[in-house]
Amino acid sequence: MTARMRILYLAVLAAFFWMFLYVDSWLAAYGLVIVLAMPVLSLIVSLPAMLGCHVRVEGHHGQCCRGEENQWRITVYNTARLPLPRVKVRLTLHQALTGASLAKTMRYNRLPATLKDRLPMDTAHCGIWEAGVRWVQVYDALGLIAIRRRVTVTAQTAVLPRSVEPEPLPQATQGQEQTTAQRPRRGGGMGEEYELRAYQPGDPVRMIHWKLSSKSEELILREVLERPEAVPMLTFDHLGPPDLLDGVLDRLWSLSNALLEQQKAHEIQWVHPENGQQFRFVLRGQGELRRCFGVLLSQPAPTEGHRFPTGLRQTADWYYYHLEPVREEKP
C-alpha cells in the first residue's frame, strides 16, 4: 500500500511538473504547488496521532498449563483518538528455558483510534514467554511519510507444567521417616509420650504437672513429644531436551502439589546447568511453589551441563528423592 501511494504521488507530481514546464496555464502552477504541499499538510494533520501512538501487549491468561490454549493480546491506540492509515509493530518473543525466539512484524491498515489483535501463543513446552515491542512505525494520512519510534513494552506469561498422577515415594524412604527423633510438640496438647523438665519463664502454665510439682521444690513441666516426619527434598537435573524436561517438570509439579495438599512441607533443589549454582526452595504453600517455579522456568536448560550431585548423605530429618527423566513410548 505504501509503495503504491508513493508511486502514485510521484506520478501525479511528474504530471503537474510537466504541465508547469510545457503548458502556459495558471492551473499548472497552482496544481504543482498543491501537490508539493500535500505531504506537508498531511504530516501536520497526522502528527498528533503519529506521536501519540502506543502499543500494549499482554497474555490473554497470565499463566496457563502446558498444552492449553493461550494468546497474546496486542492493542494499538493513540491519545489523539484519530484513525491512522498504516502502522507497523515489531514484536519479539523469547523463552529462556528452551531458548526459543521469534521476531514478527505486525502490519495494520486503516486503523481506528484503538485496534485490538491476537496472536496464538506456543504452549507446547514449559517455560516463561517474554514478549517485547522494539519499535512502532506510523504513517501519515497519505501513507507517504513514516515515523519510527523505539519503544520498550514487555509482558510475561508462564506456561506451567501439566498435572499428572503424582508418583508415590519409595517404600524404603517412607520407612525412614519413622526413625526421626522425637521433638517437643508446638502448642503442647495431649499425648502418650512426654518428658519432664523444670519450668522456665514463658512456658505455658497449662503444661505444668501440678501433682509432681507439689512433691518437689520447683515447678515441673510436662512436655508432650512428637515424631515429625522427615522432610522430602525433591531434586532434578535442570537440563535435557524439552520433551524429556517437560515430563520431569510435570512430575515435580504434581508431586509437590500432592505434598502441599497433605500439608507436608518439602524442598525443591536443583543446580544451574551453566554455572553450577545450587537453588533451594522450602515449600509450605502454593505461593512458595509458584515463586519456585517462577525462578525454575526462567533459567535456560541446555542439553548438557551441571547435574545435581548424587550420593548425598541422608539423615533422619530429611531425604532426597531425585526425579529422573523418562522417555515416553510412542504407540
Gap between the Cα atoms of 72 and 316, Å rounded: 48
% of the chain residues with pLDDT over 90: 43
pLDDT > 50? residue 173: no
- Claim to verify: residue 90 and residue 67 sit in the same structural domain: yes
Average pLDDT over residues 86-92: 93
- Claim to verify: residue 82 and residue 146 sit in the same structural domain: yes
81 within some domain: yes
Query: Of 97-111, 204-218, 249-263, which range is least confident?
Result: 204-218
165 within some domain: no
- Claim to verify: residue 7 and residue 153 sit in the same structural domain: yes
Closest CA to 135 of 98, 165, 91: 91
- Claim to verify: residue 201 and residue 214 sit in the same structural domain: yes
The 3-state DSSP class for residue 214 equals: helix
Phi, psi of 146 (to 5 degrees): -120, 145
Select the more confidently predicted residue: 3 or 69. Answer: 69
- Rounded to two decimals, the pTM is 0.74
Query: Predicted confidence band at 211 (pLDDT cuts at 50, 70, 90)?
Result: confident
- Claim to verify: residue 80 and residue 201 sit in the same structural domain: no
- Claim to verify: residue 237 and residue 314 sit in the same structural domain: yes
Please report the pLDDT score of residue 185 as a whole number: 53
Query: Of 131-140, 220-229, 317-326, which range is least confident?
Result: 220-229
- Claim to verify: residue 27 and residue 67 sit in the same structural domain: yes
Domain hosting 27: range is 2-160
Evaluate whether 64 touches 161 at the Cβ level (below 8 Å).
no
Please report the pLDDT score of residue 192 as a whole number: 56
Gap between the Cα atoms of 117 and 139, Å rounded: 19
- Claim to verify: residue 300 and residue 277 sit in the same structural domain: yes
The 3-state DSSP class for residue 35 equals: helix
Average pLDDT over residues 61-78: 91
Helix axis angle, 2-22 to 26-51, nearest 10°: 150
Evaluate whether 226 touches 183 at the Cβ level (below 8 Å).
yes
Does an H or E element contain 32, and which? helix 26-51
Placement of cell 503519529 in the chain? 50
- Claim to verify: residue 6 and residue 125 sit in the same structural domain: yes
Q: How many domains are contained in the chain?
A: 3
Query: Predicted confidence band at 331 (pLDDT cuts at 50, 70, 90)?
Result: very low
Amino acid at residue number 185: R
Select the more confidently predicted residue: 86 or 194. Answer: 86
CA atoms within 13 A on the CB side of 40: 5
